[in-house]
Structure 1
């Protein structure tokens, strides 16, 4: 297909202290989250001066992609829009229309299937086009890329670098622990086309962990979850990272390397939940702790974007390492199933993420 632009579509985050609560209200709109809970979460942002790193990280990704496009002779301007904070995707799509863009590809900053990682981005696209109305460009989301070789290689090298940060005496026996954003169990069970039997999100995360561990030379590892929210009565994917650190310490483990395999960039749920809470828990337990970097700032991420674009525009071969299905334009022409990843349950119960 022809395209005239690329839209990087992300979650969004505040860039000033006064933006924090309005941003959280956008994230949780329609879910009846108590004000006290929002104010408690706001303190995580204020710990970093009221600024989430996600917008700056996304702008850096865009700069990397623009350089790779220039090297590859791909003439596509790159636009930036968010679901929950400025630049809002509706405003960006309106600017694209004004610039004469009639057709664009969309890169979501999530590698995964599931509601919040995939279907909700399709809903963002539809909402933005409806808001712009007549003349809104056609927007086609690129495929899920959880098992792209460049994505996996960047994580694998980050794991190796994190091991090297540990005290030398702890490196050989360090336990590798992968984390991803937890979601309600019922939401995960409904994730993916019915023919696949659900649980597309957790299966893709498990497959990515397997691939990354193998590429980094690990035969043993754990997969845990982080950043859950919502009432305790609703089951979410477990175990939680901090609970798992307790279990590891109790079993005699002395060092851990944590890889946030479920995240593209080091945004707030990585730097708070892992670099603060999990790191503090490890220190309390006497565990040596190192955290692997996310791939968004690795040059291979931008090169992966070039490959994803070429899959659609030039019908180049799809490169995948995993055995769990991935969906979207670019995977043998398939797109998401109409009944994939039911939104009502997930939207009501998920606390949202920056994936």
Structure 2
């Protein structure tokens, strides 16, 4: 297959106060989320002036990718489209069609398998192409990258830098805590060829980062950003509950590393730099949050390498043993019942 464009696929976020509620309604469309819950999440965004950092992070990443492509002779024009806010993917696909693009490679800002982190991007692509209609370019999504050195290494750097901020005299009682977005247990335990892959891949990433960054410390994988109704079981423990437990076990300091994310967007900032940090302070725990990859050079190079796996038949770079895939089978990650609200 000959590809003639690259497109960055992301979640999207508001960029001014007037965007916040329309954005939230896009996110929860069809889920029956009450206005009271949206009002609560609205306040999270207003805490940051009604601006989510994710769109600017995508602009920065796209600019870095374009430079990386140019430096290494990858001759693909780069586009960007979102699931929930402008630039919407359907508008981007229309622009690509008008520019004569026929076959593009898509990179989603999520490292893992699972419905929301992988299959939903395939659905976004299909919906955007259907909206554009005749002439819409085909888009092939690049594979998951949870164990790619270009994703693991920036997290390792982030953990080491965070550890350096804590009291070295208390290292023996310091704990490393990895976090990722919680999902309903029913999604995590889905049947089929990729059932349980989200949890397994995250566990492998945590193992790889821990081994390279802080092998002398104990570590845990916990969850954040739960948004569903209380009667629906989600993956636990929540980061805040886990910090309570660690404090009771004699832990004095924690490094929290959000390995479930590629950039410091609002869920990372709100859940970890506000709520979890406040919980740690209340418990008397030393607290440092590790950075996400963002535009780390290794991460940017990884995007280019993933493209070249497809265009130049380069071998796959992987530090782990779990499979990753770049096609989505019909029985992979069934579409869940729509419940819950964003954070």
Q: TM-score, normalised by structure 2?
A: 0.97
Cα deviation, 1:318-341, whole Å, max 9, x if unaligned, reads 11112222111xxxxxx2221100
CA gap 1:352/1:307 in 2 versus in 1, 3 angstroms: farther
CA distance in 1, matches of 2:305, 2:340: 32
Task: Give the drift of 1:349.
Answer: 3.1
Query: What is the aligned partner in structure 1 of residue 245 from structure 2?
Result: 247
Pairing 1:155-166 to 2, within 5 Å after superposition: 155-166=155-166
SS at match of 2:336: helix
CA distance in 2, matches of 1:111, 1:154: 13
Q: Does 1:108 align with 2:108?
A: yes
SS at match of 1:225: strand
Query: What is the aligned partner in structure 2 of residue 336 from structure 1?
Result: 328
Pairing 1:34-73 to 2, within 5 Å after superposition: 34-73=34-73
Pairing 1:285-296 to 2, within 5 Å after superposition: 285-296=283-294
Q: Does 1:204 align with 2:201?
A: yes
Task: Give the drift of 1:230.
Answer: 1.2
CA distance in 2, matches of 1:22, 1:336: 30
Q: TM-score, normalised by structure 1?
A: 0.94
Cα deviation, 1:291-349, whole Å, max 9, x if unaligned, reads 00001221111100010000000100011112222111xxxxxx22211000033xx13
Q: Does 1:6 align with 2:3?
A: no
**Structure 1 vs Structure 2 CA RMSD:** 1.2
CA distance in 1, matches of 2:60, 2:322: 30
CA distance in 1, matches of 2:57, 2:170: 32
Query: What is the aligned partner in structure 2 of residue 332 from structure 1?
Result: none
CA distance in 2, matches of 1:5, 1:165: 42
State which of 271, 278, 281 in structure 2 corresponds to 1:280: 278
SS at match of 1:165: coil
Q: Are the aligned partners of 1:230 and 1:351 in contact in 2 as well (CA < 8 Å)?
A: yes
SS at match of 1:38: helix
CA distance in 2, matches of 1:121, 1:107: 10
Query: Relative to structure 2, which stretch is displaced further, 166-175 or 119-128?
Result: 166-175
Task: Give the drift of 1:352.
Answer: 5.3
Query: Relative to structure 2, which stretch is displaced further, 217-226 or 10-19?
Result: 217-226
Task: Give the drift of 1:279.
Answer: 0.2
Q: Which sections of structure 1, spanning at least 5 residues, go unmatched?
A: 329-334
Task: Give the drift of 1:256.
Answer: 0.1
Q: Does 1:133 align with 2:125?
A: no
Task: Give the drift of 1:65.
Answer: 0.5
Query: What is the aligned partner in structure 2 of residue 320 from structure 1?
Result: 318
State which of 283, 295, 298 in structure 1 corresponds to 2:296: 298
